Amino acid sequence: MMPLVQEVPAQVRSLERFVPLLGQTAVDEARALAQGLHERLAGGVIWNVNSTAVGGGVAEMLHSLLGYARGAGLDVRWLTIGGAPEFFRITKRLHHALHGEHGDGSALDEAAHHVYAKTLSRNAVELRELVRPGDVVLLHDPQPAGLAPMLLAAGARVLWRCHIGADETNEEVELGWRFLARYLDGVGCMIFSRQRYVPARYRDGRASIVQPSIDAFSAKNIELDEHTVRSILVHVGILEGPPPPSPRYAFVRSDGTPGRVERSADILRLGRASAWETPLVVQVSRWDPLKDMLGVLRGFSILVQNHAAPTVDLVLAGPNVRAVADDPEGPAVFEAVYRAFLEQPPAIRAHVHLAMLPTADVEENAVIVNALQRHATIVAQKSLHEGFGLTVTEAMWKARPVIASAVGGIQDQIEDGVSGVLLRDPTDLDTFAGELHRVLADRALAERLGAAARARVRERFLGIRHLVQYGAIIERLLV
């Protein structure tokens, strides 16, 4: 039988790259912290456990954080857990609950506990072969949270990292926390993205706050010149045009080896390719109802109908729904967006492009997202809830004007009217269309928002700050 637990290989990335961005002192301090941790761990391993290696913010951050931690000499590793679709249906239900939503509305009852705990027990049997007493285990999000009691009993030091949360509590939020309490109450160290996300029961000194950041040197965010952007997007069929004259769709992988964007069988596109000159509105997200791809499509439709000129296209891009195991809603959400797309009048459909990006090769996927974000005239993130929108930070770093919902962490990321535009009511599609029009029509405004966005990311959401915060928290755990 296939093992449930899989190790995700991590590349070693050098901290040296941050010297030009952040200075030698910052890099030296990070190294010294890693060295101290290394000695304290005395041969122990820091494990990260989540449920997928691709598609979503957690996977995105783990790839780079792991690489830099390994580059600083720490033995940090990454495991994914597995389970049957029923397990992931329950964890998705939990995920929605912690955002304050009822998801599929199913009961989080004893039967759900049974499936959840039983799946994690089977994973724990495999984990106990790997994790030794004294090792540090970071469990990410609700999927592996239930491993905590078993790992603690095995002598591991357990830390729970919660990447989601709701600004306001409601019945669903309470329900979600009640479900998890059975597994998490014994965990003495937790990390959240915002203070408001810490549930009352854990406001007892055990919670730390860490704001997620992005990796400026990953395939997702590395500088790409215009020619490369164009070549990649023509090559995958998002932009129209002749095939690129030279293989500039090649890119450098984080381990320094060459990579190539292939027009892989894995990419699925619906709609018409855009012309290079046509302004583009882009939203890149998982096919999750909380990302509201459907609302973006409807808002865009209002834009085209009410604010006619100039011509503008929309790309909604996300992972290939068949490839992401822990997102059971993906196919249905994509299907709903596709149906809404078909219902649009031809004049609108001609300007909309749905793309499922290949996921088999994480860096190929990343470089396509990178090119798409760089080419975007406006990046939208019209989420209904968001723990912290990495896509927002990614687009800001690329100096794009971002129009995003004033929900969750996005409110910490964008200062409204300065480093982007915040939508007070994300369900108000007329305002969304109006804001799209306002930014499309005013190039100076777009540039100003983009420049301020980039500066803000450089200041707050970049580089090794994130790593240093994790290091300090783990150091306390080891005392």
Please report, as ranges, the residues that interact with ligand UDP according to CB under 6 A: 55-57, 60, 220, 284-286, 317-319, 357, 365-366, 369, 388-391, 394
The token pair that represents 151 in the structure block? 């790992």
Please state the closest distance from residue 315 (CB atom) to ligand UDP, in A: 11
The distance of closest approach from Cβ of residue 477 to ligand UDP in the complex, given in angstroms and rounded to an integer, is 25
- For ligand UDP, give the closer residue by CB, 53 or 234: 53
Structure tokens at 87: 């397990």
Angle between helices 330-343 and 293-306 (to 10 degrees): 20
Beta carbons within 8 Å of 409's beta carbon, 6+ residues apart: 193, 194, 211, 212, 386, 387, 388, 389
User: In the complex with ligand UDP, which residue's Cβ is closer, 281 or 348?
Assistant: 281
Closest approach of ligand UDP to the CB of residue 303, in Å: 23
Identity of the residue, 198 or 355, whose beta carbon is nearer to ligand UDP in the bound complex: 355
**Closer residue to ligand UDP, CB minimum distance, 122 or 374:** 374
Q: Which is nearer to ligand UDP, 136 or 162 (CB)?
A: 162
Least distance in Å: CB of 35 to ligand UDP? 30
Q: Which is nearer to ligand UDP, 122 or 398 (CB)?
A: 398
Which residues have a Cβ under 8 Å from the Cβ of 285 and sit 6 or more positions away?
A: 291, 293, 316, 317, 318, 381, 383, 391
Q: Closer to ligand UDP at the Cβ: 48 or 365?
A: 365
> Per the structure block, which two tokens stand in for 200?
């009352």
The residue (of 135 and 394) whose beta carbon lies closer to ligand UDP is 394
CA 100-102-105 angle, 5° bins: 160
Please report how close the Cβ of residue 377 comes to ligand UDP at its closest, in angstroms. 18
Among 465, 443, 477, 437, residue whose Cα is nearest residue 22 = 465
Closest contact distance (angstroms) between CB of 452 and ligand UDP is 20
In a 13 Å sphere around the CA of 257, the CA atoms on its Cβ side amount to: 6
The least CB distance from residue 368 to ligand UDP, in Å, is 8
Closest residue to bound ligand UDP by CB? 57
* Smallest separation (angstroms) from ligand UDP to the CB of 131: 25
Within 8 A by CB and 6+ apart from 407, the residues are 167, 383, 384, 385, 386, 426
Q: How far is CA 204 from the centre of its chain?
A: 28
Min dist CB 469 to ligand UDP, Å, is 17
CB of 219 to ligand UDP, least distance (A): 10
CA separation for the pair 141, 144 (Å, rounded): 7
* Smallest separation, CB 359 to ligand UDP (Å): 7
Nearest alpha-carbon partner for 267 in 237, 243, 244, 297: 237
Task: Give 135 or 327: the residue with its C-beta nearer to ligand UDP.
Answer: 327
Partners of 76 in the β-ladder: 46
Provide the minimum distance between the beta carbon of 287 and ligand UDP in the complex, in angstroms, as a whole number.
Answer: 9
Looking at beta carbons only, is 57 or 149 nearer to ligand UDP? Answer: 57
Buried b / exposed e along 105-114 (16+ C-beta atoms within 10 A): eeebeeebee
